[in-house]
């Protein structure tokens, strides 16, 4: 069974649809799409309202550059079965880090097409 860890900023930024004018709205749309998807997925955000946090939404513990990337790596490191994880990102450095821990990687653009968003 594949479990997904989604780098929200990477997925949102993979399509120039004006997301930068409403980052919070773009995050909310991605969260809604993942909740409607019939797969085990966790979206990881750099920042966001505390009320978004829950079992399917993780907000990075710290702020700043690569905060969500570091949070994704922490989640992979803590997982009992990292080989069952697929990390969604197009960030080459993050992809290398999680692959070294045993997780698979899918590109952000391909994942957006998979979701149909």
User: What is the predicted pLDDT for the residue at 93?
Assistant: 97
Question: Could you read off the pLDDT of 68-85 as tens digits, one per residue?
Answer: 999 999 999 999 999 999
Residue 95 belongs to domain with CATH number: 3.40.50
Residue partners of 11: CB distance under 8 A and separation at least 6:
30, 88, 108, 111, 112
The total of structural domains in the chain comes to: 1
For residue 114, give the H/E element and its range. helix 108-115
pTM, two decimals, is 0.91
pLDDT in the model for residue 64: 83
In tens, the pLDDT along 89-105 reads 999 999 999 999 999 99
pLDDT at 85: 98
Residue 17 structural domain? 3-115
Q: 52-64, pLDDT tens digit by residue? A: 888 899 999 888 8
């Amino acid at each position: 069974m594949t479990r997904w860890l989604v780098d929200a900023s990477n997925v949102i930024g993979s399509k120039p649809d004006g997301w930068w004018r409403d980052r919070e709205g773009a995050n909310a749309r991605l969260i809604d799409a993942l909740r409607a998807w019939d797969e085990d997925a966790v979206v990881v955000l750099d920042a966001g309202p505390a009320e978004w946090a829950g079992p399917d939404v993780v907000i990075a513990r710290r702020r700043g550059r690569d905060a969500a990337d570091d949070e994704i790596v922490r989640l992979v490191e803590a997982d009992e079965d990292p080989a069952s994880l697929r990390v969604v990102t197009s960030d080459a450095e993050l992809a290398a880090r999680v692959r070294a821990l045993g997780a698979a990687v899918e590109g952000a653009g391909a994942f957006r097409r998979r979701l149909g968003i």
